[in-house]
Structure 1
Amino acid sequence: MTLKNVLLAVGPGDAERIDALARTTIDIAGPAGATVTFAHVFTEEEYDQARSDLDIDSGDDVTVDTVARQHATVRGLTDRLTDESIHVDVRGRVGPHGESIVTLADDVNADLVIVGGRRRSPTGKAVFGSTAQTVLLSAPCPVMFVREDH
């Protein structure tokens, strides 16, 4: 499979997985010369909080992509990938995490989606749902799941 576009889903819980996500993405995208698009999805509350934390007024003309670029995990991963000469782009969305990631994968014509996660019990998946599970079942391309403990 030839990789031109890799979508890396990055969320609030991925700070603890940054090394594993960076290593995996570099190993896959670097040799292929692929562009990596970071997908950072906010709920409405998360987006409002992020704008507040960044001291952005609701009247300011700032896009969700701009706010996503300011997320610490996105900045850390961007630095790591650009140090390896990998071209990166950042896309932000406001909405349901899993569905928004799937839509972004389609929008950027992703050849592969990389998502991070943690091991969950069957009960935890049934009760709380899973962004990674939604992406795994609905993405328009193959999906790679990266755990922080590997």
Structure 2
Amino acid sequence: MLDTVLLAVGPGDEDRSGQLAETVLEVAKPADATVVLAHVFTSTEYDEVLDRLEFDRTVDEIEPDAVAARHSTIHELQTILDEHDVDYEIRGAVGDHGQSIVDLAASADADRVVVGGRRRSPTGKAVFGSTAQEVLLSAPCPVTFVRSDESAPTREPPDE
């Protein structure tokens, strides 16, 4: 039985928030599980978001949870989860995307992680790494990978 599902989103997930929401609803709603909406920022991304969202930097420390709660992708997902009467909480983290998602899954005692991604060549993975790949290999629970529609492979019809 699932009690907690972690839905990890990041800067590249704006275009697939509907797909992510659909997947998390398929997993969480029948089990009446709580969804943890998690947004991970690198240090650079975090500073840029603080500026863009006009956070007051004169306060002692701005918690990543508060920053995540104001992010547009999280707002879209909140709206969808509210419409479907699914309980959720919001968590934010600053650090390496993959490891931070794994850490959030462990701290939330998640029973499932849902993460988005796109198709990448083997060379692209080797050179740039893959957040989804790291989560798939290191998460303390099963992981559901949601691939962006636009990244689905296209096939040419065979020559006749």
TM-score (structure 1 length as normaliser): 0.96
Partner residue in 1 for 2:47 = 48
Distance 2:108 2:35 in 1: 10
Deviation larger for 22-31 or 60-69: 60-69
Residue in 2 aligned with 1:6? 5
SS in 2 for 1:25: helix
User: Identical aligned pairs, as a percentage?
Assistant: 56
Residue by residue over 1:78-133, the C-alpha shift from the partner in whole angstroms, topping out at 9 and shown as x without a partner, is 11011100011110011111000000000000000000001111111111101001
Name the structure 1 match of 2:117: 117
Describe the SS at the equivalent of 1:56. Answer: coil
| 1:130 counterpart residue number | 130
The alignment covers a number of residue pairs equal to 149
Structure showing greater Rg: 2
Where in structure 1 are there 5+ consecutive unaligned residues?
Answer: none
Which structure 2 segments of 5+ residues have no match?
A: 153-160
Give the structure 2 partner of residue 34 of structure 1: 33
Q: Give me the whole-angstrom Cα distance separating, in 1, the residues matched to 2:56 and 2:17.
A: 30
- SS of 1:57 mapped into structure 2: coil
Which runs of 4 or more aligned residues in structure 1 lie more than 6 Å from their structure 2 counterparts after TM superposition? Answer: none
Kindly report the root-mean-square deviation, in angstroms, between the aligned alpha carbons of the 2 structures. 1.1
Partner SS state of residue 52, structure 1: helix
Higher relative contact order (CA 8 A, sep 6+): 1
Instruction: Look up the match of 2:87.
Output: 87
User: Partners in 2 of 1:39 and 1:18 — Cα distance?
Assistant: 13
